[in-house]
Every structure is written in C-alpha cells, then in structure tokens.
Amino acid sequence: MITVLVQVNFDGELENLKKIRVAIIGFGYWGPNIARNFALNPYFDLVYIVEKDESRRLIAQESFNVTTLRTHHDITVNDEIELLVICTRPAVHLDLAEYFAPIVKNILIMKPSGINLEQAIKIDQLSISNPVNIFCDFTYLFSPITQFIQTHELCKGVLMEMTEYTSYRTSLGIVQADVDVLADLAIHDISILLEIKKSLPRKVNCIPTDSVNTGQMKSAFMTLTWDDGFKASVHVGWNSPKKVRQVTIMGMGRSIYIEELNKESPLSIIDFQVQSSDYSNLPVNEKIAQNISYFLGDIEVPKIEQFEALSMEVSCLKQTLRNEQVQIKVPRSALAVNCWRVLESLMESAAQEGVTTYVK
C-alpha cells in the first residue's frame, strides 16, 4: 500500500472544538501506524495506548507523549473514551469488543475482525445489543488507488463492463499466529471486490500452493465467481522472495493495470483490441481454429493524488463520529462478516483440494 504522509488542511475551527478521545489497544506491528495518524489529526486526543510488552510501552510513550497502560482493564467508563481502537492479534478481538461495547460509544477493530465467521458475527451483533458503533479497518478501501478507480470516469467505465480481476499479493511477510494468509492478505482483495460488485460471489475455489503442511496456509491460488459470470483470480503468499502488489481489471477492450509498488506510475488505463476486425463475425468452428492476437492501443497513465490511506480513514472517522458529510464511508462490522463468509468458503474449498464451494 502506498504510504505517503499527507498534509491535511483543517478548517480553522479547532479552538472551541471538543476533541474525540481515543484509546488504542495493542502497539505491535500495525499499532504505531494507527497511533501516528490519530496523534497527527487535531480532531482527536490520543489518551491511552495499552500494550502488555514493557519495551513497546516505552516506545509508545516516548514517540507520542501519551499515557501507556499494561492492561485494558485500567480503562473505565469514567475515562470518557469516545473511540476505542482494537489493534491486537485477531484471537482477542472478540473478548476486547465484548468488554468495551458497554463502555464506549465507538469501536474501530482491525481486519479481519476475529478468527472466524462465528466471531465476526458475534462482534457485529454487539452493535445491535449495545449502544455502540463498530467499524472495521479495511485500509485498502481508503487508498488513493482504490478511490481513483471508483471515481475516474474511464476507470468507472471499465468497472461497469469488467470481465475479470487478477491479483498478485505476495511477499516474505509476517506469518500470523492465529489466522492464515487468506485472512491476512486475500481479505484485501475480497473487501475491494465486495465494494466494487456490491454483492457476494456465488462460488469459490481455493488451492493451497505451499508444499509444507503445517496446518496453516502460507500461499494459495483462488477464484471467485459471481452470478453474472464475473471471475476474480487471486494469488497470495507469505513465502515469496519478492514483494508483489499487482492487480489487473479487464473490461471490454479496456483494462486497468495497478502496480502498487511503482511510486511514479502505480496505475495505467490500457486500451486493447483483437487484431482481426472480422473475428467476431466468424462461425464458432472457425473461431476455435483461428489464432487470436491482440494489440495495444492508447495507454493513459493518470496522475493520482497521493495520500496515506490511514490518514484518510482517520479523517473519515472524524466526519462519521461528528455526523458530517463523509468523504469515504467507513466500513462497519457487517462488511467483516461478509468477508468471513467468503474466507470460510475458500478455506472449505482448500480443505477439499480446490473443490467448488458455494458461499453461504
């Protein structure tokens, strides 16, 4: 993901503003990024960072001049925390959400929201049984690239007629202790696809591609198929020597090519055509016998405004909590439930060597 620190312009109404009091639980891999963005945003007051590791607490205190706590039990309703951010390993997401749902008004929980569909549903139901809003951090939905393809006219045209989506998301990544590579990496593509398609896929296939059977998938190839015939293919891996973040979205004669790690030109809009203008008029038996070749037409490399996705997400959270017009809608816990429906279908397929599995 592109990580460029953005200078946010605020409207000068800060003098009499009551800031949003924030507490963050967890200061591991993702915690410092979360903390930095809340600390930089003047509409928030970073009150506490909770971290059980003493050395990490010291880093948090020195980096953000914030009160650090060893346990979340030290936070009570009297602290008037308006936003609680759960940034721990997924195995404790549910326990923390259950503890804080009666105490705070709003919870932001990191993806994937628990370790299975059952936990994701329980987290989502907390927002029904308690006066609390539960949001989920699907950071890619706030990235400049994702926003560009949803708003640029040419990109919107490709999305309206898209026929396939292909993604490669691999690296020598951190092997998570309590979720596999699907819940860690594939969930990015799943959340983007659910946002674009506005519906769940009908069926999925998933084949693990790592040969070492440790009981936890570290790489996999999967396909997702929607009712309209649209297919998405995704390859994810924690065990690749090269970090790759590439997506191709094919349309009818146009495509969007995303190379996220290319800082100068991360996105291209490419025209392509079949070489023979008469091919579409050929009978089926001749189409099968005739080779097809394509040629590239115009390639547009648009300039994309760069901003840090987390910075945008934090700004949109402020707009949401203050009932203002929201630039980008912040995902709720219901999206995590839908992502887990797809994830568990993929896991079921993988357990049966790639058999077609229908999303429930």
Q: Which residue matches tokens 């800060």? A: 14
Q: What is the mean pLDDT of residues 6-15?
A: 50
Q: Which two three-digit tokens encode residue 343?
A: 């994830």
Neighbours of 275 (CB within 10 A): 10
**Residue 44 contacts residue 22 (beta carbons within 8 Å):** yes
Return phi, psi of residue 177, to 5°.
Answer: -80, -30
Task: Please provide the DSSP assignment of 216-261 as one string.
Answer: S-SEEEEEEE-TTS-EEEEEEESEEEEEEEEEEEE-SSEEEEEETT
Domains delineated in the chain: 20-139+310-330 (3.40.50.720), 141-306+338-358 (3.30.360.10)
**CA–CA dist 350, 356 (Å, integer):** 9
pLDDT band of 13, cuts 50, 70, 90:
low
Return the amino acid letter for 3. T
Q: What is the mean pLDDT of residues 27-42?
A: 96
pLDDT > 80? residue 274: no
Q: Which residue matches tokens 């691999």? A: 170
DSSP, res 243: E
pLDDT number for residue 6: 44
Cβ neighbors of 114 (< 8 A, separation 6 or more) are: 90, 93, 94, 120, 122, 123, 336, 340
Q: Which two three-digit tokens encode residue 182?
A: 């699907």
Share in percent of the chain as helix, strand, coil (round to 5): 35, 25, 40
pLDDT number for residue 176: 82
Return the amino acid letter for 112. P
Q: Which two three-digit tokens encode residue 89?
A: 């390993």
Average pLDDT, the chain: 91
In this prediction the pTM is 0.89
Q: Which of 67-71, 205-209, 282-286, 287-291 comes out lowest in average pLDDT?
A: 287-291
User: What pLDDT digit, counting tens, does each position of 307-327 carry?
Assistant: 999 999 999 999 999 999 999
**Residue 205 contacts residue 218 (beta carbons within 8 Å):** no
Q: What is the mean pLDDT of residues 88-117?
A: 97
pLDDT > 60? residue 15: no
pLDDT band of 172, cuts 50, 70, 90:
confident
Give which of 315, 340, 352 is closest to 330, Cα–Cα.
Answer: 315
pLDDT number for residue 231: 97
pLDDT > 90? residue 282: no
Chain-centroid distance of CA 252 in Å reads 27
Give which of 104, 136, 99, 87 is closest to 329, Cα–Cα.
Answer: 136
Work out the angle at residue 330's Cα, subtended by the Cα atoms of residues 261 and 268, and round it to the nearest 5 degrees. 30
